[in-house]
Amino acid sequence: MGLIFFFSSQNGTASDSNSYFLINLLGKIGVNISSSMGISVANFIVRKTAHVTEYFILFMLLYFGFKRTYLKNIIIYPAIITILYSISDEFHQLFIEGRSGRIKDVFIDSIGVLIGLLIIGIKNKVKEQKTYPRA
C-alpha cells in the first residue's frame, strides 16, 4: 500500500518519466513497444498494466494474510479492501499536481483483483479435483 501511495504522490511529470523509463528499458532488451504502437499508446499501456499489477499484488498479499485467519469466505475481504484502497488512491490523486482521479482507473485496478480471484478459483478447483477424483 505504501508503494502505491508513493507512486500516486508523484506529480504527472514524474509519473510519465517512470513510464518512459520502463518503455526505454524494454526497448534495450528487445521489446520495442513504442515503435509498433507509438510512444503515447505505449505509455498508456505501461501505466495501465502497472495499475493492474499493483492491485493484483496487493490483493494476493491480503488474501494470503487473511488465509491465516478463521474467518469464513476470506476471499471477499481482500477483494473489498483492495477495491476500497483503489478508490481512496484515485481520490488522493485529485490533490496531486498533474494527476487526476478517474473512476475508470478503479475499474482497471479491479482487473488485478479479478485476475487474483480467477487464479485462486482455478487453484481451488484443481485442488478439489485432486482431493475428490471422479470415478
Task: Report the C-alpha gap between 15 and 9 in whole angstroms.
Answer: 9
pLDDT tens figures, 43-59: 888 888 989 999 999 99
- The per-residue pLDDT for 90 is 93
SS (H, E, C) 106-129: HHHHHHHHHHHHHHHHHHHHHHHH
Q: Evaluate whether 105 touches 92 at the Cβ level (below 8 Å).
A: no
- The per-residue pLDDT for 135 is 59
Task: Report the C-alpha gap between 49 and 20 in whole angstroms.
Answer: 13
- The answer for residues whose C-beta is within 8 angstroms of residue 53's C-beta and 6 or more apart is 112
pLDDT tens figures, 29-39: 877 777 777 88
* Cell digits of residue 17: 518519466
pLDDT tens figures, 92-131: 999 988 888 899 999 999 999 999 999 999 998 998 888 7
